[in-house]
Amino acid sequence: MRLNQVTVTVRDIESAVAFYQSLGLQLIVLSPHYARFECPEGGSTFSIHLAELGQPIAASTVVYFESDRLDAWCGGLSAKGVIFDSPPADQRWLWREARLRDPSGNEICLYSAGKNRLHPPWRLKDTDA
The domain that holds 77 is classified in CATH as 3.10.180.10
In the three-class reduction of DSSP (H, G, I as helix; E, B as strand; rest coil), residue 41 is classed as coil
Give me the pLDDT at residue 59, please: 66
| Residue-wise DSSP of 47-93 | EEEEPPTT----TT-EEEEE-TTHHHHHHHHHHTTPPPSEEEEE-TT
Q: Kindly report the backbone phi and psi dihedral angles of residue 33, in degrees, each rounded to the nearest multiple of 5, phi listed first.
A: -120, 0
In-domain check, residue 17: yes
In-domain check, residue 126: no
Question: Total domain count for the chain?
Answer: 1
- The whole model's pTM is what? 0.85
Quote the domain boundaries for residue 35. 5-117
pLDDT tens for residues 41-62?
Answer: 888 999 999 988 777 777 678 8
In-domain check, residue 65: yes
pLDDT tens for residues 95-104?
Answer: 999 999 999 8
62-66 vs 107-112, strand pairing mode: parallel
